[in-house]
Structure 1
Amino acid sequence: MSFANRLILLALLSLSCTSQVLALPEDRNQPIHVQADSAELDDRNGIAVYRGNVIITQGTMKVTGHTVTITRTPSGELNVFTALGTPAYYEQKPAVNKSIVQAYALTLQYFVANNRIVLIDQAKIVQEGSTFQGEKIVYDTQRQIVNAGRAGNTPVTAPRPRIDMVIQPKSSSPQGQTP
């Protein structure tokens, strides 16, 4: 295995270890799969670029985009991965008793050290039928805190001056009984 391939594998393994705050316990023990039409690895600058229907999976986690760029710090630690798509997509099951969290945006960035996902342009998070939409959504996966609003100085294709939420009501009938 070449140095570049080992480096990317190490970067992806680092991603898997740091994203486990919201993952099912079994996810961390699952292999990481990367599929793409092409890959460009730049060891000197710590950048890997995957292009063409990119799919990254590990357990319940899935990230897709037409281009995914993974960067490393000078010390070799995974720094940021950026998925571009129409839209880019992220999903993960946070716990056995929770439904999958889905996130969409034209640009999706995962900041490993901060356990933070940033969704920019046509940003949307969906869980259990409830939705959260805006120009920009920042999701702290460790503390499970969402901040949303305008994208600031970042250009967007569909301006949204306000955030939009739809919260589904909890079922009022006891489990196992039909109303």
Structure 2
Amino acid sequence: MKSPLLNCLVAAVWVCLAPTAGAEKADRDKPMNVEADALRYDDLKQVSVFSGNVVLTKGTILIRGARLEVRQDPQGYQFGVVTGESGKRAFFRQKREGLDEFIEGEGERIDYDGRADVVKFINQAQLRRYQGAALNDEFNAGVIVYNNLTDVFTLDGAPLAGAPGSVGQPGAPAGRVRAMLTPKKDSAAPVPPATNLRATPALGGASR
């Protein structure tokens, strides 16, 4: 079910990775489209709840999950929560400004705080950076928090094995975080000057 109603309610909810972080700037002005099996809207509380195979697109932003809840506070700031199906994770993807790069993230729950401009991936959290189709960097943790204003993210370890409520976090050892970082190529590296080659009449010595 497509609903233009969400365009007015949550025009900026999922503008993650702000221009400071190199996100696609044009995404801010793009319309938001949502498909889901059902929608419940509470005008008094300014809350919209989409459920069942939720797919959200806004410019280069793509979000998938089982349930999306969006609310707005009296000051106009918007907050969103996406959750995945049982045993699965919610998904987020966005292009970076002026680059052939994408940011992808997953978590059993994804929170966005419009006031602080922070996105949080919770439980079985993973953040990936792609250059073209090639995976450059990957981060795994129990919780990953990305601050769009400062371009800083933090990782908290997965629950320790046997701890209350521990469900185990694939990709990161219990109580630890895990990161894979690809060295950056220096595109400004100097190019060696071309060498002019001259034909030699004979090998092994100078011509006579």
TM interval, shorter chain, is 0.7 to 0.9
Q: C-alpha separation between the residues in 1 aligned to 2:15 and 2:168?
A: 35
Conserved? CA contact 2:10–2:78, under 8 Å: no
The RMSD of aligned alpha carbons is: 2.9
Is there any run of 5+ residues in structure 2 with no aligned partner, and where? 190-208
Question: What is the deviation of 1:155?
Answer: 4.4
3-state SS of 2:12 partner = helix
Counting strand residues as a fraction of each chain, which structure ranks higher?
Answer: 1
The residue aligned with 2:45 is 45
Q: C-alpha separation between the residues in 2 aligned to 1:146 and 1:113?
A: 17
Cα separation, partners in 2 of 1:31 and 1:168, compared to 1, 3 Å: same
How many residue pairs get aligned? The number is: 171
Conserved? CA contact 1:126–1:132, under 8 Å: yes
What percent of counterpart residues are identical? Answer: 20
Conserved? CA contact 2:89–2:106, under 8 Å: yes
TM, length-normalised to structure 2: 0.71
Cα separation, partners in 2 of 1:141 and 1:52, compared to 1, 3 Å: same
Question: What is the deviation of 1:150?
Answer: 3.6
Question: What is the deviation of 1:80?
Answer: 1.3
Conserved? CA contact 2:143–2:158, under 8 Å: yes
Match of 1:104 among 79, 103, 106: 106
Question: What is the deviation of 1:71?
Answer: 1.2
Question: What is the deviation of 1:113?
Answer: 0.8
The residue aligned with 1:10 is 8
Q: C-alpha separation between the residues in 2 aligned to 1:113 and 1:40?
A: 24
Match of 1:123 among 122, 125, 128: 125
* Over 6 Å off, 4+ runs: 151-154, 172-175
TM, length-normalised to structure 1: 0.82
Q: Give the alignment of 1:67-106 within 5 angstroms.
A: 67-73=67-73, 75=74, 77-85=76-84, 86-106=88-108
Conserved? CA contact 1:124–1:132, under 8 Å: yes
Instruction: Report the residue type matching 2:7 in the other structure.
Output: L
3-state SS of 1:10 partner = helix
Is there any run of 5+ residues in structure 1 with no aligned partner, and where? none
Question: What is the deviation of 1:27?
Answer: 2.0
Q: C-alpha separation between the residues in 1 aligned to 2:187 and 2:114?
A: 41
